[in-house]
Amino acid sequence: MRAVRKLKPGPDHIALCDIPEPGIEHATDVKIAVKRGGLCGTDLHIRHGGYGFNPPVTLCHEISGDVVEIGPHVAHIKVGDRVTVMPTANGACGNCSYCQCGEYFFCPRRNSVGSKRDGGFAEYCVVPENLVFALPASVSYDAVALVEPLACCVKAISLNTHIAPNDTVFITGPGPIGLMCATLAHLSGGRVILCGTERDTERLSKAQTLGIPHTLDISQTDPVQYTRDLTDGHGADTVIDCAGSAGAIAQCLEAVRPLGTFTQVALLDHPVACDWGKIIYKQLHVQGFIAQNWESWRKALDLVTSNTIDLTQFVSHRLPLEEWKRAFDGAERQEGLKYLLVP
């Protein structure tokens, strides 16, 4: 079968390969015919040799598809189910202090699907039953594939960042994650300011269609002054960085009010200098989040199945596996929104 794989360590070394079709090896395995695989920033980090991965490995942890075979001890999933995969908990021990509080990302034994175990940029994927979740057939394959990134945003914003009605929420980075965070903040009653650059015109326009009230091109408008003008000089109650650059973090520290909250969502794989004096003298609450936990996963499933959030709005490209490089390059250039590969 065809699969997009990271073949060895270091930058690049990604190729579309012909590999044997996987089969059921364990009694609780589930075999999925992949319909959509979402391209994530993590896949881009792996492309450049960052993040943790065990090559050779098939990439992609944002997966939707149909179950085509199950092991003899599978009890809760059946052939024909439309499913998504919770990739991060694969291999988690279930016994350590992190697993017991639902934060499986920090389990030292876990090996995520799509980086340390073969993932969804392939025609078929086999994973353990405990990672597989069925959704109604009324939920599109596009939406099913995006449950995983939504769960990451739910963990950071809905569960751990207190947003009261009419709080001013300043967000940098209008990519798919930034738009999901902005949507969740808006649903919480926040007055959202979403910032991008001159390259983000299309993304900021999408934010407006999603109901985000304030969208700024920072090359045209000073975002810090705009925020102060909107808040009678006080600044934002909460700032959320979804851009992952030193400039964006500096803007967040300028825009937030004293006693406000700084939430870091964008992943950083290199040191970034920031003005810690602002954190001290504003007495900020600073927090960072990564991946999902079981609570955010369940809430993301509920948001999708109830159609509270239509995840198809965040999809801009659907490409065959053969065009994987076009997808990676487009995402690197921040063209469009979410890229899905269609096996």
In this structure, are 114 and 166 located in the same domain? no
In this structure, are 73 and 181 located in the same domain? no
Q: Residue 315 maps to which CATH number?
A: 3.90.180.10
**pTM of the entire structure?**
0.96
In this structure, are 138 and 165 located in the same domain? no
pLDDT digits (tens, 9 = 90+) for 133-166: 999 999 999 999 999 999 999 999 999 999 999 9
Residue 57: CB partners within 8 Å, gap ≥ 6? 5, 6, 114, 115, 116, 117, 118, 119
CA 243 to CA 220: how far, in whole Å?
18
In this structure, are 116 and 221 located in the same domain? no
In this structure, are 171 and 266 located in the same domain? yes
- Sort strands 62-70 and 82-85 into parallel, antiparallel or unpaired: antiparallel
Instruction: Give me the pLDDT at residue 215, please.
Output: 98
Instruction: Give me the pLDDT at residue 316, please.
Output: 96
In this structure, are 283 and 195 located in the same domain? yes
What's the chain's average pLDDT? 96
- Beta-bridged to residue 225, according to DSSP, are none
Instruction: Give me the pLDDT at residue 50, please.
Output: 83
In the chain, the percentage of residues whose pLDDT exceeds 90 is 97
CA 7 to CA 244: how far, in whole Å?
27
Instruction: Give me the pLDDT at residue 156, please.
Output: 98
In this structure, are 124 and 15 located in the same domain? yes
Q: pLDDT 10s digit of each residue in the chain, 343 long?
A: 999 999 999 999 999 999 999 999 999 999 999 999 999 999 999 999 988 899 999 999 999 999 999 999 999 999 999 999 999 999 999 999 999 999 999 999 999 999 999 999 999 999 999 999 999 999 999 999 999 999 999 999 999 999 999 999 999 999 999 999 999 999 999 999 999 999 999 999 999 999 999 999 999 999 999 999 999 999 999 999 999 999 999 999 999 999 999 999 999 878 999 999 999 999 999 999 999 999 999 999 999 999 999 999 999 999 999 999 999 999 999 999 999 999 9
Backbone phi, psi, residue 258, to 5°:
-55, 140
Single residue among 288, 314, 334 that ends a domain in this structure: 288
Structural domain harbouring 19: 2-151+292-342
The H-assigned helical ranges of the chain are 41-47, 97-100, 141-145, 147-153, 176-187, 201-209, 223-230, 246-255, 276-281, 294-305, 324-332
Candidates 138, 169, 129; CA nearest to 307 is 138
The number of domains in the chain is 2
